[in-house]
Amino acid sequence: MSLSSGVGRRFFALCGNGFYRKAEFATLGKIFEREPSRKITQTSFRLTSAEIRMAHTMVKTTWVTSKDETRELMAVWPDVVRDLTEAGRHLDIPDVTKWMAKVLQYNVPAGKKTRALTLVYAYRTLIPPDQLTEENIRLTRILGWCMEMLHAFFLILDDIQDGSQIRRNQPCWYLQNNIGLAAVNDGLMLESAIYQLLRTHLKGKDCYLEIMELLQETTMKTVMGQCLDLLSTNFGYYTFVLPVTVAMYLADIRDPEMHRQAKTILLEMGHFFQVQDDFLDSYGDPEVTGKNGTDIQEGKCTWLIVVALQRATPEQRKILEACYGSKDPEKVKLVKRLYNDIGLPNTYSIYEEETYNLLNTHIQQISRGLPHDLFLNLLEKIYRRVS
């Protein structure tokens, strides 16, 4: 990406003005207030021992047994595929039915299933014990797969737009057997399948309309976020807000203040999750993350480049302007070396600890009857994650 291009000028103008996220990284701002110099060393900023203890002892219960729940989730998956392919058989289009099954199997179950697990865990936490029936849990798992299908739909389109090569340690769907832009239709097929599942399993229940509208609203916001991504930013809305809100509706929790408090915390958590993603793109192990780290090559407006632009000397900024957004491996190396020179790994480590503690505090301040452990365990799940 050349700075002489309109896109390049807009990118650096937006990033330089902190447009990346309008909250302007409140926690990062606190760090800069404590240490305004260009490089923050480990000795120039320390959390107190009390803060460290608080961060690591506040969660009293553990995240839902992920291996067990993942196994139960996968046990439901063949039924989900059968439900969706049965609809195609009724229309007497066997070739499309077989293709849909292939699209589903390749794109949906291979991920970490964070959103589905979050939904099931949130529902288990929120529902009264006498309503925790096998039938209700099975329905929740099916809705969890709806979350995963929505995620897969976004990823298929995102990979095409970004020209990505690898997703979840396998070639992106559009690169399979020269599928190319036909993959756009496959993504849309996944999105339509979500509402087929809702009609099959949720229609007639009190929460049907609310959940359907929530999914549609989330899709609209994410598509708008993708538009911003192409212009210089992105947002992660549906990772936490969507599954927990669906669980609340399933548990018949409709109090507007409870939803407002949950959304506030979950948006903060989603922001934290997105910054982690940005960092892992450049500093994570591709074998673990399943990504090929292309944010620099694609000129994405990430947390890393925003902080780099805020702290770069005039000479360093010239390097960023010349190299950022280029697919030239040598220029990518120069950007990564500059990140290290500016001290971004250390700054990120400080940011992560600060944000973790801040979120813990905000969760403890929730006063509308929502269980703190629900949010504390979600936070613990993503704290210091490597993928």
pLDDT tens per residue across span 55-78 = 333 333 344 446 889 999 999 999
Per the CB < 8 A criterion, the answer to whether 110 and 103 are in contact is no
CA nearest 75: which of 153, 172, 142? 142
Q: Is the confidence at residue 172, as pLDDT, over 50?
A: yes
Q: Is the confidence at residue 28, as pLDDT, over 80?
A: no
- Rounded to whole angstroms, the Cα distance separating 298 from 325 reads 5
Beta bridge partners of 151: none
Q: What is the pLDDT of residue 350?
A: 96
Average pLDDT for residues 334-360, to the nearest whole number? 96
Q: What is the pLDDT of residue 88?
A: 63
Average pLDDT for residues 218-228, to the nearest whole number? 83
pLDDT band for 44, please (50, 70, 90 cuts). Answer: very low
Q: What is the pLDDT of residue 298?
A: 87
Give the type of residue at 275.
V
Which range among 9-13, 107-111, 212-216, 280-284 shows the weakest confidence by mean pLDDT?
9-13
Average pLDDT for residues 97-126, to the nearest whole number? 94
- Rounded to whole angstroms, the Cα distance separating 381 from 387 reads 11
Average pLDDT for residues 165-181, to the nearest whole number? 92
- Rounded to whole angstroms, the Cα distance separating 150 from 108 reads 9
- Rounded to whole angstroms, the Cα distance separating 211 from 249 reads 7
pLDDT band for 40, please (50, 70, 90 cuts). Answer: very low
Sequence length of the chain is 387
Q: What is the pLDDT of residue 21?
A: 38
**Please, what is the average pLDDT of the chain?**
82
Q: What is the pLDDT of residue 318?
A: 96
Q: Which tens digits make up the pLDDT trace of 317-333?
A: 999 999 999 999 999 99
Instruction: Report the SS3 class of residue 166.
Output: strand
- Rounded to whole angstroms, the Cα distance separating 88 from 91 reads 5
CB count within 10 Å of CB 288 equals 12
Distance of CA 301 to the CA centre of its chain: 16
Q: What is the pLDDT of residue 86?
A: 83
pLDDT band for 9, please (50, 70, 90 cuts). Answer: very low
Q: What is the pLDDT of residue 234?
A: 44
- Name the range with the highest mean pLDDT among 91-100, 184-193, 284-293: 184-193
- Rounded to whole angstroms, the Cα distance separating 10 from 147 reads 34
b/e map of 107-133 (b: 16 or more CB within 10 Å)?
Answer: bbbebebbbbbbbbbbbbbbbeeeeee
Q: What is the pLDDT of residue 260?
A: 95
Q: What is the pLDDT of residue 356?
A: 97
> Among residues of the chain, what percentage have pLDDT more than 90?
64
Beta bridge partners of 170: 167
Give the type of residue at 16.
G
Average pLDDT for residues 369-376, to the nearest whole number? 93
Which range among 96-100, 135-139, 244-248 shows the weakest confidence by mean pLDDT?
96-100
> Among residues of the chain, what percentage have pLDDT more than 70?
79
pLDDT band for 89, please (50, 70, 90 cuts). Answer: low
Tokens of 100: 């849909």
- At 149, phi and psi to the nearest 5? -70, -40
- Rounded to whole angstroms, the Cα distance separating 343 from 337 reads 10
